[in-house]
Amino acid sequence: MIYCVSVEEFGPSPTRKILKFEIVVVLALSLGQSAVYSILSFADKLTRGPLHEQTTSLNNQLSNREFFDFSYQLLDILFALVPVLLALYLMKHSTGRGVREIGFDLRTPGKDALFGAGLFLAMGLGTLGVYAAGRALGITTAISAANLGDYWWSVPVLLLSAVRHAVLEEVLMLGFLFTYAKKLNLGLWTTIFGSAVIRGSYHLYQGVGPMIGNMLMGVVFGWVYQKYGRVMPLVIAHFLLDAIGFVGYALIGPAIGIGN
């Protein structure tokens, strides 16, 4: 027997105050927190000197001992995804929408993969262009995208890190936030631009260029999600962007001077 649970079975429909509180809690535990630290980091960098003379390091070692570094990396990825579970639970509880309704499932893997790959190709070129322009204008730091040790597990961990970022950002910035915005009767473009601004702000620590680039990406992704109603192609596109960036840098970046 299949037992279907409706939102009414959880109790009365939540008030606007409760919905707003749930948004704040989820963001404060995840990307909203990252945005605050990112803004503070950007202010710190501005007071240290020209941005183009500074480097932002991603995927750093967490210990100088291999076993503990590996363990810390896995735990860091695992716990970073907990807010996604919280968001999905609250969304189902308060709006009745779950992973199927936001398209975070495997119902159409081939179509999602092709769509995601197409978005990756389109956004990848734009991302490189914005980064290059930011470096030329002196408003973007050099990005060192992979700084793990030379271990057998470095590439798998970088790929898992790409999965972490893709799932966390797209499920929260699109599936969760757009669902709550609709419940709060916010306008489409208010939602798209609001999500894009948050997305840009938690990349500000890399410089103005990445902030602008990610805001533009947020507008495109928000429009695509609103039009097609599935978050999975956007998760795939984001994963490919990060995976190529992280693993590509780890394998050939330092040798050819990428990030300088």
101 inside domain: yes
- pLDDT tens profile 109-148: 999 999 999 999 999 988 889 999 999 999 999 999 999 9
1 domain-assigned:
no
The dihedral sign for the CA sequence 56, 62, 63, 68: negative
The answer to whether position 103 is within a domain reads yes
Range of the domain at 167: 7-256
* Integer Cα distance of 49 and 55 in angstroms: 12
User: How far is the CA of 153 from the CAs of 48, 139, 206, 247, in angstroms?
Assistant: 35, 34, 26, 12
- Record the pTM: 0.91
224 occurs within a structural domain:
yes
Position 127 in a domain: yes
Number of structural domains (the chain) is: 1
pLDDT the model gives residue 13: 75
Residue 2 lies in a domain: no
Q: Contact 192/222 with Cβ under 8 angstroms?
A: yes
135 inside domain: yes
Which parts of the chain register pLDDT below 50? 1-10, 256-257, 260
- The per-residue pLDDT for 250 is 77
